[in-house]
Structure 1
């Protein structure tokens, strides 16, 4: 029990103070850090024919080359370009010191089952399955190759169940953007590269938890699967994987740059204040410890596809009153019940841009983990999916 308390205390301090913020972040995507996983004395996953460290380096270099060839305004920074061992904390430091706008960590997977195959992309967050936890533990185990890792990472032990559970509860400041990029990557893997889509997932990764920017960890396939290993070591396979990630980056950059331009224009016209939002079904003013059926507020605003965007700022296991001290007197609060949790939001906007302005206001008011969530017909969907629907509507009015 004492060990659990110590771990809880250590990681609580991590979660509160570890994340540096770039106060002058401009919104445009101008720097990307590409992180080939493992390297040197850390081979990563080992297949029958190859090692993870070699495959992901080849893919990462191709990805960087594609970006440099197509975007003169983007600086590509690598955590490594040769077969060398880079500590996880140093990978994070490279990204933060360069004030990058996006972090892409490239990996290959492995499983005790040789039948497992496909791609998946992770963002930092709470793992909801044993499989997600297993992937995080595998990647975090790289610290075992570091000297004095217990001291370096303040007691974090990748083999400790308690540490992994607590660590995975960290939600980074850029979760919404990270989820968008991850969704775009999986779309490209599935639709363009023809890979099996294992989805966008969340888990606790050391290499992601302390980055001051959106970040993803890509698992490009399973070296434990004979056919997938052959694909990943081939020139064609590596080109397909790198190209898929590049196309996702292209779409992400296009969207983020457009959003930044709109926000800049709004600021220049002194019209960047979020308007007050009223919701039709606010959270009750009294706490109710008994879970209720799934709830969402009906949108007052909408568009042709009933897509709305809200800003989620709190998640609780029991319903909280709207005048709870932690809500700091916010107005127009509503909640929805999702995956066994009460999730509190403000705003009910027809565009992501409007919701992002509200998100920025919440960040200024102390809700630094607030992020945008999207709904279609009152059902939560990924923001990337919402944007695809709206873009299709613009192209086919």
Structure 2
């Protein structure tokens, strides 16, 4: 296996590229790893246990969906190497799954599961039976108290007990929790020889990097953070594609325990809980050919959107300036969401500076920003510290800045504070967006010149 070789003097440049470059300036998506959760007699996963369930086993459902997903990915993206971790009913330790994904040098890790939850116990009367009971009385006999038991018969109900089905249904998407970034960092550093620094196609020289050096650990930590954001972006696409089918899309969550493979893979990774195996409607859906194929197609559509955005990001950035002068620009998929929160802002210069913050409590809001349909900020986590960029208004046309919510943060909806300056005045604009609606600012240029 070839060692990664990066010059010492080049490290600083690479470091700057990692920090300053767009979240999607990564290599092409060449390999996708798909994992069917659970497997084998040792680990069946969740099972259908409510009364009159199909007695489904999660391991069988995940394998069926995975095989359809692998086939659909290969069909729609023939240039991508799609690698399943298992194709039969076998047990794999989660560490083995992560090892395989890293060994395959995956660029994405898709983990397929089915959800469940604790079932409540119900009871109902199914008949009656006769029961003998005894009435206790006492009688004095020669100054002694004697106990007398008198039998009598009563009719009592007979009950049977059963497990009640879950009422919750739908598909959810999970990413590794932020506090688990250290595990992601370990996976990157453990990968050592497989770790690749993004250098915008600048050639390396013959000096071998020490994976345990402080510099390399810093770079790896940036990558771990990036994987978190990329995972969140892909998860958002999956949630949107599932919602398009009319199925209940439950959004994106960060599970604190139980999804070790997401932390231990050296790539963006998501886990898809396709449905609730102990909900009758979901169980039938997950076992049906139609449901399995629909999920496979929805996930594939999301992966294609992610792949297109990853691979076209640099091109989009380079074309931003030329697109400003075009009357018509093709509409990105993200702008297909309706815009319900629109602010009109009159400015006195065609050159505007925008500073964007998380509005209110910092809750991990992640946004993308489009200006005149061109992507200028991708998958940015908002904080109390400003993220700044400049836009140049195009004379004679409507200039619109659109805020796209990549997630809802921990406190929905996604909110942003924008401080806008035009060289003369300063404006504060608050926008609110969610996974169904965008928000925007429309600029009206009013020159201050006589």
Gap runs ≥5 in structure 2: 1-24, 120-165, 180-223, 321-351, 364-368, 393-413, 419-428, 441-450
Counterpart residue number, 1:60: 66
Counterpart residue number, 1:109: 115
In 2, the alpha carbon distance for the partners of 1:389 and 1:349 equals 19
How far did 1:116 drift? 1.3
Counterpart residue number, 2:274: 220
In 2, the alpha carbon distance for the partners of 1:206 and 1:381 equals 32
In 1, the alpha carbon distance for the partners of 2:356 and 2:297 equals 45
Counterpart residue number, 1:324: none
Counterpart residue number, 1:186: 239
In 2, the alpha carbon distance for the partners of 1:81 and 1:102 equals 18
Secondary structure at the counterpart of residue 226 of structure 2: coil
How far did 1:177 drift? 1.4
In 2, the alpha carbon distance for the partners of 1:77 and 1:104 equals 10
Q: Is the alpha carbon distance of 1:189 and 1:209 closer, same or farther for their aligned partners in structure 2, counting shifts above 3 Å?
A: same
Secondary structure at the counterpart of residue 72 of structure 1: coil
How far did 1:349 drift? 6.3
Counterpart residue number, 1:125: 177
Q: How does 1:228-247 map to 2 (within 5 A)?
A: 228-247=282-301
Counterpart residue number, 1:42: 43
How far did 1:262 drift? 5.3
Contact map agreement 2:357 2:386 (CA 8 A) in 1: no
Q: Is the alpha carbon distance of 1:73 and 1:380 closer, same or farther for their aligned partners in structure 2, counting shifts above 3 Å?
A: farther
Q: Is the alpha carbon distance of 1:310 and 1:63 closer, same or farther for their aligned partners in structure 2, counting shifts above 3 Å?
A: closer
Contact map agreement 2:35 2:110 (CA 8 A) in 1: yes
Secondary structure at the counterpart of residue 173 of structure 1: helix
Q: Is the alpha carbon distance of 1:214 and 1:345 closer, same or farther for their aligned partners in structure 2, counting shifts above 3 Å?
A: farther
In 1, the alpha carbon distance for the partners of 2:117 and 2:83 equals 30
How far did 1:303 drift? 2.9
Whether 1:199 and 2:205 are equivalent positions in the alignment is no
How far did 1:302 drift? 7.5
In 2, the alpha carbon distance for the partners of 1:231 and 1:178 equals 26
Contact map agreement 1:311 1:347 (CA 8 A) in 2: no
Whether 1:98 and 2:75 are equivalent positions in the alignment is no
In 1, the alpha carbon distance for the partners of 2:357 and 2:118 equals 48
Q: Is the alpha carbon distance of 1:63 and 1:255 closer, same or farther for their aligned partners in structure 2, counting shifts above 3 Å?
A: same
TM-score, length-normalised on structure 1? Answer: 0.54
Contact map agreement 1:310 1:374 (CA 8 A) in 2: no
How far did 1:218 drift? 0.2
Q: Is the alpha carbon distance of 1:310 and 1:79 closer, same or farther for their aligned partners in structure 2, counting shifts above 3 Å?
A: closer
Secondary structure at the counterpart of residue 371 of structure 2: coil
Q: Aligned residue pairs: how many?
A: 251
Whether 1:309 and 2:377 are equivalent positions in the alignment is yes
Whether 1:84 and 2:152 are equivalent positions in the alignment is no
